[in-house]
Structure 1
């Protein structure tokens, strides 16, 4: 349903619906309303496909390119550029922001590849890992102890729509989350075993839970002790280390490729 017909004045930053949506920038409001914001055509297209969009706000400049998204939204409204900028959390807004419902998380039966994030506070890293997990065909991503909210705006953007593709569990205790799975737990660590050596030995073919900690601090000793092995990506050049998202992508793709080999 499009509220803004030709000639209708665009909603402003003071409009009640825009004001209500702006509150979802804060986690407390998101949890209270069980809604969050998704910005940009790519994320909104995936959110629409998942049936998560409740309301869409758009500006005149994007209507000609993305009229299909406006038509598909259950409720939509034209807003001023100022109002859109207030809803967006980027320096250069993409002209569309959707209010989305929280997503249900159903634990998949017999998962073979699971990602658990522990104390990852950087939403960009978390969203990048979520995107890599989706691309590698992971069954589930768990945002464990003290990790960023997956509905954080930057995390949603960094996931590039992957948030809407696979189950995501939020706010779980890391130890309790790990106990849910009958699988080997591999803790990512710079001083761990070579991930490619594990691939060559065939050990990555088994159901696997990858446990990732924060980029600056890694996993604490107690949490790392919950894993069966510590595993890392070797550095063959002069770089001091790999970005967490890149390292996670290597680990996940290496595992997924091994699990997909014909038995």
Structure 2
């Protein structure tokens, strides 16, 4: 491949503009596709594509546009694949396609998977993260990444939540958007019904909740509890049980109807002077509390997908 002669050199070409429109919600909706930018995200997208293809399923990647220099540094991105169109492009063309201020020389056009609630709950999930009207792409991406790292089975975005496939959200997942089933624009009532049918408890992450997350973790570990905690834990849920955690809007938290639908309201204790936790941070703590309890109970594997000890 001649590094000095990319196939695409005109950043004003219609094809370039068509790809760039995927940075907008109407553009993504029209094509049911989104952008992955940078070598890490594109590598994860291609790995997901290869996994699906090897299982006889439809792959996720449709096109890859990369500078010749990028392909020289990362030759794995230039491997030809069935159903994936690979084009070399100048740095100016890739920059015109990308959403970032400092493009990294490669973008991929990826199909938006059509994941339903039945896809999520029919397989007996043990741990699900539910985003209820979360608006910030960074927060949404952080929660999805935390769910992935904690070994969750899926992520559900309730109607009114941010588009998880917008470029900032995709970047903030650091590749995790390609690792988990994600159901989007789900009516909350349908989530409640699906969780009930699957016998998955709903727990609301609520700073004013009566149930203390530390007490639940102590109970799951079989530790002796302080007298004041005993009654709370006796009436509280088990972290070992199949759980869908509800995480609420950054400014308003969970709505009363969402809190009412949850079996329990669980608070992450604050030991310092901060008034609250960022929703992404709170979600990470809650998801890991469930993941640890479930692993201790032998319900989830104790290693990462590549065989590393979890967290390595």
TM class by smaller structure: over 0.9
Partner of 1:183: 200
1:135 deviation in Å? 0.7
User: Any conservation in 1 of the 2:130–2:245 contact (CA below 8 Å)?
Assistant: yes
User: Any conservation in 2 of the 1:35–1:101 contact (CA below 8 Å)?
Assistant: yes
1:82 deviation in Å? 2.7
Partner of 1:144: 158
User: Any conservation in 2 of the 1:147–1:171 contact (CA below 8 Å)?
Assistant: yes
Partner of 2:234: none
Deviations 1:183-207 (A, max 9, x none): 2111111111221211222310111
Match of 1:248 among 283, 296, 311: 283
Distance 1:153 1:239 in 2: 31
Matched positions, count:
261
Partner of 1:161: 175
Distance 2:284 2:143 in 1: 7
User: Any conservation in 2 of the 1:140–1:167 contact (CA below 8 Å)?
Assistant: yes
Q: TM-score, normalised by structure 1?
A: 0.92
1:5 deviation in Å? 7.8
Distance 2:6 2:147 in 1: 43
Partner of 1:170: 184
Q: TM-score, normalised by structure 2?
A: 0.79
Distance 1:42 1:140 in 2: 22
Q: Which runs of 5+ in 1 are unaligned?
A: none
1:10 deviation in Å? 3.4
User: Any conservation in 1 of the 2:7–2:87 contact (CA below 8 Å)?
Assistant: no
Rg (Cα) greater in structure:
2
User: Any conservation in 2 of the 1:104–1:167 contact (CA below 8 Å)?
Assistant: no
Distance 1:101 1:32, change over 3 A: same
Partner of 1:224: 259
Distance 1:145 1:47 in 2: 26
Distance 1:110 1:20 in 2: 40
Distance 1:201 1:179 in 2: 28
Matched, 1:201 2:215: no
1:89 deviation in Å? 1.8
Matched, 1:98 2:108: yes
Match of 1:57 among 53, 65, 90: 65
